[in-house]
Amino acid sequence: MTKPLWAPWRLEYVQHADELEGCIFCVEAAGKVPVDSSMLVHRGNDALVLLNKFPYSSGHLMAAPVRHVGALAELTDAEALELHRLSVAGMDTLDRTYGPDGFNLGWNLGHIAGAGIVDHVHVHVVPRWSGDTNFMPVLADVKVLPEHLLATRDRLRAAWR
């Protein structure tokens, strides 16, 4: 039986994502975020990996090109390859660090498809555990994350190969 992955707390973020000051991927790529509050896990030549500040689950990563590009078809071959490789490396890092039972990987292309940031393409790497959906988000509009985002960032930075 299919188990839904409910994330009702993300609606407020998606509805107001256009109000953000600048593109989070570009701000992180430019090194404009203080190290202690940066969500950057890894930076490659053409792409980078960030923790999602509004995660579906603990360890929810996003891989994005360094270059500000809004359409999947506009990625260079080098960007597409590095995004794929960083997604795989992210899964490996999460697997070794947290041992999830599986992963969801996906592109939300366009606002109607759920993209909170529509003008800078990115792929989501979401670790999943058996039983990770529960009554808290549905009844209490609360997501329980067992670890602070900065602690997760530090663990994943240290474990990245």
- Residue 81 is predicted with a pLDDT of 98
Tell me what pLDDT residue 74 has.
97
Q: What is the pLDDT of residue 11?
A: 59
Global pTM value: 0.78
Sorted by where each starts, the structural domains of the chain and their CATH numbers stand as 10-159 (3.30.428.10)
Is 42 tagged catalytic? no
Q: Under a CB-based contact definition with an 8 Å cutoff, are residues 50 and 61 in contact?
A: yes
Instruction: Out of 42, 60, 120, 122, pick the active-site residue.
Output: 122
Tens-digit pLDDT profile for the chain (161 aa)?
Answer: 555 555 555 555 555 555 556 899 999 999 999 988 999 999 999 999 999 988 888 899 999 999 999 999 999 999 999 999 999 999 999 999 999 999 999 999 988 888 888 999 999 999 998 876 644 444 445 455 667 888 889 999 999 98
Q: Which two tokens stand for residue 83?
A: 């995004």
Report which residue type is found at 24. I
Long-range contacts of 67-73 (CB under 8 A, 24+ apart): 68/23, 68/25, 68/26, 68/119, 68/120, 69/120, 69/121, 70/118, 70/119, 70/120, 70/121, 71/109, 71/121, 72/107, 72/109, 72/121
CA–CA separation, 105 and 85 (whole Å): 13
**Spatial CA neighbour of 60 closest among 37, 84, 83, 94:** 94
Q: In what order do the strands lie in the sheet with 47-51?
A: 40-43, 47-51, 61-65, 123-128, 102-107
